Chain A
């Protein structure tokens, strides 16, 4: 098989190809799950759309229009085939194309989640580094305590607390609503700042904890002593050598927090009234609008899978040993404590 391929492709880095293959398989399985969930539905959309006065024949005709009288495998293949071409079907009730609604909602999630990720990296990175440098000291204990408290707070408590303090007491930022970035970047920032901050806290706590653990380990390595003895400033040692080696697990945690930032942020979206994908799903769930539910799930899963690929690429770039197929010290040395992403509830 490989002999038939041009040499350049045959020599393509294996991990990437493997990663893509795995991602494709996972996507297929996730789409089966998503479709299967819809197939389990006992909903009779024809009856629901046409109301009480419809005759059984009308209902059957309506269900035929939705394609619901075909065998399930046929329905699945046609649904997936259309989805891959960007057609997610139409809502049963509003007949608006699902892809159109998702397309309107997705930029909201992506921009707010992007901002949240940035905040999480900055906050978590600063917290983790500060804690590791003061290993056992006051700063370390303070960061650990804050992270522990953040893990126990439900997302809505954080969101409501922020609104109560920042929006109501200080009147600094709006408490809900949204303006697209393309329309007015400054207004976008004003509306996104609070939800992004609320979302970022859980991820930041995870990153800080993880980074602290691996940094404490990495700072004890011989090469750190060596670098200091060669006269490198402690800042250069930290940012040039140690961080690079210790960032792996933290990046993994970051990757695990992507699902909860995109689409997992149902409560946050609801409280801040963001017209995002979770709101779309919530509304669809209340109406039992199966095509919309399936569409939002599929798109969210795809975004998460793409983000995972990006994180893996980042891990490979950080760690030359991982590129060669072996895990470096940062990823596999001491078992590091990655806990469940607590914010999975958000």
Chain B
């Protein structure tokens, strides 16, 4: 909570949050707000500039650009959220478990994470689409699996530093149950770090979603998405700049806001929460110190 309050004091963070809130509203209500059917073609009025009937003009098939933009937001954002949601679950739970479930699990989990980190995001998502069928869910779950190591390492590094803190040891000595220690002492300190990583992962995953839809994967083309609009309307950049430029601008704004928010969260105290106690940094913690660096 302190991190959140510190963060909200920064004007940049408030601006970033406002942008993200706006995008979220667009994502949820975009479909209803759309003044026209995003798929309706009006071949008599192709590639027109902004007018009263079409506020942002029409694309190469005479479809309303504003409506397509509004109804395309939902899919793009939902995809990114889905991937990060999967990554949160798949990363944090094993990340904490690796510290408490013994060395065999720890070793296996660490190697699995190494293996996942060696796979390239987009290629793996494409492979998942190719193997499991062309759907955004398949691609996003695959992306979630690949993003999970990030949360795994960050959570683990943060929790590892905390495990050696005297008050956690004291709580364990006094007979506090594992779940109590986790909830009371560990989780609140890990949360800010996880928040930073979530913002960064959302940005990464949004860019991947737009890349995939740009390539025509995950979503069948007539359905509007930011990446799909960019791809299909790009050829008509000279005649109708609104159609390809606006989705690009929206992507950049959203990703930029996420980056700024991550930075603000980090400056707001997330980095302090996990800074490992220097005296405790003996040899076995080597790797985790590097992870803490990644987290901070």
Binding site for B on A (CB under 8 A): 22, 25-27, 29-30, 33-34, 37-38, 40-43, 148-149, 151-157, 160, 164, 249, 252, 259-260, 262-264, 266-267, 270, 278, 281-282, 284-290, 293-294, 296-297, 300-301, 304-305, 308, 325-327, 331-332, 335-340, 342, 344-346
Contacts and interface: CB of A to CB of B under 8 A. Distances in A.
Given A152-B256, A154-B211, A332-B286, A22 B111 contact: yes
Given A282-B126, A326-B283, A342 B118 contact: no
22 contacts: A25-B111, A42-B132, A151-B255, A152-B256, A154-B227, A157-B230, A259-B117, A266-B211, A267-B122, A278-B126, A282-B215, A284-B130, A293-B130, A294-B127, A296-B123, A297-B123, A332-B281, A332-B286, A335-B271, A337-B271, A338-B294, A346-B211
A107 to B, nearest CB: 17
A29 B289 CA distance: 25
A154 B111 contact: no
B124 A156 contact: no
A299 to B, nearest CB: 11
Nearest to B111: A25
Contact of B112 (A29, A154, A157): A29
A327 B120 contact: no
Contacts of A160: 234
B225 interface: no
Nearest to A266: B122
Given A30-B119, A40-B131, A335-B293, 19 more contacts: A22-B114, A26-B111, A26-B115, A37-B128, A148-B256, A151-B256, A154-B248, A266-B123, A270-B215, A281-B126, A296-B123, A332-B289, A332-B293, A337-B271, A342-B203, A344-B121, A344-B208, A345-B121, A345-B204
B129 A285 contact: yes
A30 B115 contact: yes
A152 B127 contact: no
A293 B132 CA distance: 12
A157 to B, nearest CB: 5
Contacts of A43: 131
Interface string B257-294: 00100100010000100011000010100100110111
A33 B211 contact: no
A337 B259 CA distance: 13
A33 B132 contact: no
Given A26-B115, A29-B112, A156-B230, A260 B121 contact: yes
A289 B230 contact: no
Nearest to B230: A156
A182 B286 CA distance: 44
B118 A305 contact: yes
Nearest to B201: A340
B70 interface: no
B251 interface: yes
Chain B contact patch, size range = 35 or more
A293 to B, nearest CB: 5
B116 A264 contact: no
B26 interface: no
Given A26-B111, A154-B210, A338-B294, A263 B130 contact: no
A335 B124 contact: no
B259 A259 contact: no
B296 interface: yes
A147 to B, nearest CB: 10
Interface centre among B118, B132, B230, by most chain A C-beta atoms within 10 angstroms, is: B118
B296 A33 contact: no
B211 A331 contact: no
B79 to A, nearest CB: 12
B140 interface: no
B114 A26 contact: yes
B92 interface: no
Given A26-B115, A325-B283, A345 B271 contact: no
A294 B296 CA distance: 36
Nearest to B276: A335
A45 to B, nearest CB: 12
A290 B131 contact: yes
B214 interface: yes
B65 interface: no
A287 B217 CA distance: 12
Nearest to B255: A152
A338 B293 contact: yes
A248 B8 CA distance: 34
Contacts of A340: 150, 197, 200-201, 203-204
Nearest to A285: B130
A313 B224 CA distance: 47
B126 to A, nearest CB: 5
